[in-house]
Every structure is written in C-alpha cells, then in structure tokens.
Amino acid sequence: MMEDPLVKIPLADAIEAAKDLNEYVVCFDRIFSRLGTGEYRPEILADYMVDRKVMQRIARLREKVFEALETVIGVDEAEKLAEEAYFYEDPA
C-alpha cells in the first residue's frame, strides 16, 4: 500500500491557520451559546465577523491550502475538490 503524499505549507502559514481556526472555534462557540440563551442580539455574529475580518482571513487560508494542494494533486484536481464543496443556497 502506498503512503499518501505530503502536502507542505510554510510553518508561518500553518501557525496562522492554527491560530485563526482556534479563534473561530472558540468565538463561534461563545457567540452561538449566547445567541441560544437570548442573552445578546443576533447581530453579534455579524459584528464579530466584520470586526475580525473573518471572511478575508478564511479566504486567505483557503488560498494557501489550495496552493499547497495544487503542487501535489494538480490544478484541475484542486478545482474539482472546490466544486464538490457544499454551497449555501437561499431557502425556497
């Protein structure tokens, strides 16, 4: 059985990703806990995402991961992976 090839990213990128992901897990847990109790207004989630530039930071991490994947599996396969992802659609 062949080993899976390694996907390498620079240490600085891995550190940034680990810190960002940890922040998101902790903050989303706290925010949703407070929303679930009705303790705070629903806008706290949007406020956090805007104030902390969450979308831009996630997009930057995604770019770095896909760049690393492309070096191992190629651009076409990486694009296929991206197309297989779940995409939110507005309820009908």
Domain-wise residue ranges, the chain: 11-83
> pTM for this structure?
0.84
Contact 31, 48 (CB under 8 A): yes
pLDDT of the chain, 92 residues: tens digit per residue? 558 889 999 999 999 999 999 999 999 999 999 999 998 999 999 999 999 999 999 999 999 999 999 999 999 999 999 999 999 999 98
Please give the DSSP secondary-structure letter assigned to residue 27.
H
AA letter at 89: E
